[in-house]
Chain A
Amino acid sequence: MAEQFREPVVEHIYTLNLGPQHPSTHGVLRVLLDLDGEFIVKADPIIGYGHRGHEKMAENRTYKQFMPNSSRMDYLSGLLYNHGFVLAVEKMAEVQVPERAKYIRVICSELNRISSHLLWFGTYVMDLGGFTPFLYAFDDRENILDILDRVSGSRLTYSYCRFGGVTRDIDEQFIDMTRAFVKRLRSRWSDYHNLVTKNVIFINRTRDVGVISADLARQFGIVGPNLRACGISFDVRKAEPYEVYDRFDFEIPTGANGDALDRYNVRLEEMEQSCRIIEQALDQLPAGAHINEAVPFKVRPPRGEVYFAFESARGLTAFYLVSDGSPYPYRCHIRVPSFGNLQVLTEVLRGMLVADAISILGSIDVVIPEIDR
């Protein structure tokens, strides 16, 4: 499409505001579009509507008090961020974690990843006009929310992990519910593929739309399923293994072209791989304590810094913590994947139709509050 785009006549260009209140920009995002008819000449994403000052808050709270904040940045991967933050502090303070706790945290993180991808799937197809898969995905997601609710007390923003383990141990019913859920989800793949993936209208809306080349991805620091759709197989769980991920056998799905259809397929495949990880973790689950009781109430990591990266639902996320020996961090910077993922819109949207802009924005899977922090 972009090749056939001729130079626009300047008098015909008008400005359209996509957002900040709009059904399809997920979160409070404003994209200032210069349009020539229906073609986009220039796209300028404007963010900051949800800036809450988490990094400043981190400097005024102890590490434990910052835990709820970590969930609220990317609320769809709340448990993953929780887990990542706890791991970062544990690495800095050299805290020992019992084996059982590690497995529990991995299982819950992967469940959170599946629930985030399910929500993305529903909202993406809804943006394209197919309203029904949204409800089917939410039906499946309710099971995950029930499982995690039983053990942590929250449905969306969790503070389940603690330095040294988890708050509450899991019981037999948790394991049964999780196994039943994995079995049920696997039986749904054929439904989703028949309804959406093989649908000719959907394929026409996503094939060759929003192609991101591998070089463009590297220049903009794109990570996560968007990067893997360009053909680069990079996943933090394999590149810098943390917790017990090196004990599981799972694959990293990649795409070939870097278009929206590839991004969609990569995410669906990732859900299946997460199911594999959960099953293996449940099989290998050891008995033991669920938390290291010897961790002091106020964790005082030694002077120094740590840059800890983990794989959230959107890609490589990192906590950069600088400690001066006191219970309060000196600096806490969170490197979020949506930062680079959203920036690439300025390049990719040029020459696209407005309808394609919605498709591209949905396929990149940004959550604005994590950019705003």
Chain B
Amino acid sequence: MIGLLRPGAHDRRWGPLVSAWYDRETTPAETDAVTRHIARCGRCRARIATYGTIERELRAALQRTPVPPARPIFAAAEARRGRMRWPAARAVAGLCATLLLALAIASPPGRALIGTAANVAQQIAGSRTANYAGEHALFRAPAGSAIAYQAHRYSVMSATADGARIEPLGTILVDGGGIWALAGGRVLYDAGSGGQHEWMVAAPDGSAAAPLPNAGNRDVVDVTPDGTRILLRASGRDGAYATAPSATEVLDATGAVLWTGSDAPAANGIDAYALSADGNYIVSGDTGAITLYPIGDAPSLPPLTISGYAVRRPQMARNGALAFAAQALSGPSAGTTTVYVYTREHDLPGIPHGDAFPPGSDPLFALAPDGSLLAVWGMRGASTLTIWGLAGSAAGKVYQDPHVAGVTVHALRWSPDGATLLVIGVDAAGRQIAYLLRPSADLSMARFTSLATDANVAAANWRPDDSLLLLSDAGVPTGFVAVPANGRTLALGLPEDAGARPVFGAGGYLALLKMDRPARFLALRGHDPAPVPGTIAALSWTGDGSGRAAVVVGGQVYLYSPRSGLAAQPLMEGVDVHWSPSGDRLLVVHADGGAEIVAVDGTPIARAPTGIDGRTLAWAPSEATLAGVQRGADGDHLVLWSLDGRITVRASAQKIGRIAWSPDGRQIAYSADAGGGARLEVVPVRGGTPIDLGPLAALDDDFVWRGDGRALLVIDHQQVGEPGMLVALASDGTGGNPLGLPSVVHLYPGPR
């Protein structure tokens, strides 16, 4: 049929051939004919473009579809049918056993990545070949985005006050930590890690996250039930909360400072764990006293002297009732702790609730905001949780909770309306649990509701409307995150694997490449799998969409193409390899640090001048030059190397580490150390004074240009490899902004 078609003229009969050509399913003769035709036929070129669009949409739509794991598929289908549909019970038993076995095999964390390198390499070889095997971590990142490797990701969930309905709200990127509800429906959570605090405020779905102003590296220890006031405390050198007055501060929900301990007349320091329920006082315990620090216009109140006791963690209800733990300082009960409730009707210290807890067994307690109920948990040989009635119809009544057996409780919190108690703890099996107790009016019983989710409840707290916020580690525990130029992060859902690297194919398709295990490159169609003869040490894709790659295995550079798979013979020796932006040439780095430019067939084009560290070389986007570091006796120089052999120095320092071209090729960012520690600097390619953007943890610390070229992304951490907050530094040196991504461990350049 080809002979009947004129190469340059559009004809409907070209359609099936072009379609097959698009799939690389044409014979050599057909391939030549179609190639010549589409070079002249705009309509067929447009047709191919639409084929690509359609295929991307189909694939993306199917990728979006959650694939249930094997067991839910079978279980869900069974549940819908209501009965066994197939008669062969024996076969079913065998099948179930087999599926259980399959699931058991699938369970180890490493299972999901078995074969990843092989599968994803095949899938991303070209955008159109990327299939929808989402389980193998194949995702698309927007062009121009950077990729951050993030430590943890948690789901924010809401629960109704009775715990009957638990629904996902969204996802926030945190390394555990607490969660609080603020006025206005916002969520306050700790995005810090490694003992550092980074308090963020976000919408309940995790979007629009921004740091809480003035929070600093302090812990939130209490938020009023209406979510309008936040009590913060700084830690001392020993890790415990500092009691210096300046360590305590109260902010409102916008982060404005309402009260600062620096101005407080507190010679003995402040040891507060609670704000009064009405938000008017900071309630501080001390040896022999409770001090109430008024906030705003609240009237001053005299301290309450409680002689002979060390007062711990006092709480104050709206009716003025105070609950606190008091440790006897002397006498036969010395060292024991008792929970007291004090109102104006009592003599100090007030009325003890429950027997004393032995030394070393401090109780937890929670006073309801309206002062009507007191919950006390502690260990007196066994775990006991008691609710005492203090006012109203429950006054004088006691409820003992049977559900707490075997549970170590670490948080008790009453709902804002005082009707329901949230209990968070760890059960005997080590699982974090959360449950609700709603006592009856006469405390004769309490309704128990387990806040059961599919995963651990890492944190929980009440919202002002008496519903609940839960922080759960359900779903993907970790992810690679795309950071587009607009700063809105985009979780890619890739699994946690610190040993994996993101690699890109055409169209921004992203995969993880395991660097520490042997892999197989699968030829695309009609070819047998080509085993990689060892562990992949480096990999570079061309950016031209052809799907070609260069791989370093065992000190040898191999080429890979979708048509022929991995070459049987190496191209040349090398320890690292980088395609030129056009995909026409390769930069090959040798073990001795030297480097050379070669054609695709290995023909030498240029060798890097002596002194240039080949491991630092990076192609300019225009491909006309490379930037690299020239080591010399007088220090390091950032140089431009033109392939005609010219060397131009653009910056110098005692040591220079990494280099990154800006997306437009007009600036180069580099890490440098002039003797005072690693810094990130930017210099114009045409020459000029370098701009100092700020410190880095080390010369080999990660930094990546943002897609718009106006900022560089860095990790605010003390040491390379430690998690830290992602920060965007303006490339003109005018400052930086945290991006709401905590515990970022590594940064990688994304697709361009």
Co-assembled chains A and B: no
